[in-house]
Amino acid sequence: MIRPPSLSPAASILRRVRADLGIVADAGDHGDIPAGAVPLPSRLAVGDLAWASVRACGLIVGLDGLPDPDRVAVAYRSDRVLTVDGTPPDVWSVYSGFWRTADGWVRTHGNYPHHARRLRDGLGLGADADARGVRTAILALTSREAVDRITAARGLAVPVRQEDPRDDERQRTTPLLAVDRAPSPAPRSRPDTLRHDARGSIPSVPLAGVRVLDLTRVIAGPVCTRTLALLGADVLRIDPPRLAEPEWQHLDTGHGKRSAVLDARSGRFEELLAAADVVVLGYRPAALDRLGLSPSDLAARHPGLVIAQLSAWGDDEPHRAGFDSLVQAESGISMVESADGERPGALPAQALDHSAGYLLAAAVIDLLERQRRDGDSWVVRTSLRRIAAELLGMPRNRHPEVEREIDLSAHTATFEVGGHRVSTARPALPGVEFAAPHLWGSDQPVW
């Protein structure tokens, strides 16, 4: 994509979002910020991507004020400021990380117990295997052999690759936010979203009355639904009964949402769908197809839904599971961020996840208004790989900026949750504040 030279990277992202959503730009707001304003030091334009993603939400919902660059940086690194009873959680498993192979590097993800078990199974390791055991097993294999063995056991591993500019350019010919309209046989009444008060201003809860069914996990989807809850939506997160969420992960992104456990094949789940206004999907497209929860299935059974779908790799690879760290590694970002050109590096935040979350939230807000005005069902899709392609196509810094210290006291909030004192990052959107997260699985599956 060729960008006008007068536009900053952040303004270019906002132009792309507006084009994807069919929104006419305000001539007085191009989304420009000074280079390096958001303190997320990187060779890639991570700060610009972060600021523009947050700003897209604010523009679409009509919030006054610009995002604070320091607040955006803290929000994108929220896992680093989270404490429970004063103690930071252990965020990464010993089974997650970069591992040298006989001919290169691989990246693994084993934060969930079932993923850790599958990784060990693929490498022929016992339940007591530690990081040294994993390192030794992988070093004896080529990158292809290590990935093949782990993925054959349904674990998660990818090769660390150099970027492929041609593939990224191909990705960028597709929308960052792909919107489709699914005609419905009958109109469906919806809340009057983005309601203005008597003075013409957006109220503090513009999504009041909107019901959002949250079928997501791990940062990107939860950031989207957390943002919708922040703006007043009634968000109900549903998880399967036998797949517990790490407590810290939900406390980091569960603000303002209710959380329940329910089988997606139950009659009660279908009742929740029937009464929802929005469904946010974060599971692999192939898994959703098997459960009858693909966007086309949902729109056919429940006309009038707004459906947001997030995946790691996009519709080209519907069977693949993935996480931000894995997409960074395989897309080439990890080698771009390498400090020495040999050992892989990483972005200063899980920026693919967070940006996908904010951009999806912006799209949902816009599509709610379209549904109210025009009827029918609406679907928006994006993927972490598509976000990565956008980032890889933005202007780069020859040398990352020097890390700047931020006073965290202005950018964190503390809540009492289930008898624990939880400190988390405050919202990146200006002028609004989070409600406390609920404990995972602690609510009933009802609206």
- Asked if residue 213 lies in contact with residue 414, where contact means CB atoms within 8 angstroms, the answer is no
Per-residue b or e along 114-148, where b marks 16 or more CB atoms closer than 10 Å to that residue's CB: ebbbbbbbbbebeeebeeeebeebbeebebeebbe
- Asked if residue 211 lies in contact with residue 233, where contact means CB atoms within 8 angstroms, the answer is yes
What would the pLDDT profile of 376-429 be if each residue is shown by its tens digit?
A: 999 999 999 999 999 999 999 877 777 788 999 999 999 999 999 999 999 999
Q: Which amino acid would we find at residue 257?
A: K
pTM of the entire structure?
0.94
Confidence of residue 8 (pLDDT cuts 50, 70, 90): confident
Q: State the architecture of 1-91+175-447 in CATH terms.
A: 3-Layer(aba) Sandwich (3.40)
Return the H-helix or E-strand segment holding 139. Answer: helix 131-139
Task: Please give the structure tokens belonging to residue 386.
Answer: 């598509």
Q: Which amino acid would we find at residue 437?
A: P
Measured N-to-C along each axis, helices 384-392 and 46-61 cross at an angle, to the nearest 10 degrees, of 120
pLDDT at residue 35, rounded to an integer: 67
Return the H-helix or E-strand segment holding 379. Answer: strand 377-383
What would the pLDDT profile of 154-174 be if each residue is shown by its tens digit?
A: 999 999 999 999 999 999 999
Kindly tell me if the per-residue pLDDT of 236 is higher than 70. yes
What would the pLDDT profile of 203-228 be if each residue is shown by its tens digit?
A: 567 899 999 999 999 999 999 999 99
**How many whole angstroms separate alpha carbon 26 and alpha carbon 43?**
30
- DSSP-derived letter for residue 107 is E
Task: Please give the structure tokens belonging to residue 287.
Answer: 């898994």
Laid out side by side, the sheet with 83-84 consists of 83-84, 420-425, 412-417
**How many whole angstroms separate alpha carbon 7 and alpha carbon 253?**
32
What would the pLDDT profile of 255-303 be if each residue is shown by its tens digit?
A: 999 999 999 999 999 999 999 999 999 999 999 999 999 999 999 999 9
CA 51 to chain CA centroid, nearest Å: 15
Calculate the average pLDDT of the chain: 91
- Residue 81: closest CA among 414, 435, 420, 433: 414
**How many whole angstroms separate alpha carbon 88 and alpha carbon 80?**
8
Task: Please give the structure tokens belonging to residue 203.
Answer: 């109220």
- Residue 358: closest CA among 226, 265, 251: 226
**How many whole angstroms separate alpha carbon 42 and alpha carbon 333?**
11
Classify the phi-psi angles of 196: left when phi > 0, otherwise alpha if psi is within -120 to 50, otherwise beta. beta
What would the pLDDT profile of 18-55 be if each residue is shown by its tens digit?
A: 899 888 766 556 667 776 789 999 999 999 999 999 99
CA 314 to chain CA centroid, nearest Å: 13
Phi, psi values for residue 132, rounded to 5°: -65, -40
Q: Are strands 178-182 and 157-159 parallel, antiparallel or unpaired?
A: unpaired
**How many whole angstroms separate alpha carbon 370 and alpha carbon 373?**
5
**Count of H-run helices and E-run strands, the chain:** 17, 13
- According to DSSP, the residues that pair with 87 across neighbouring strands are 84
Residue 416: exposure state from Cβ atoms within 10 A (0-12, 13-18, ≥19)? exposed
Task: Please give the structure tokens belonging to residue 170.
Answer: 């191909």
**How many whole angstroms separate alpha carbon 116 and alpha carbon 134?**
11
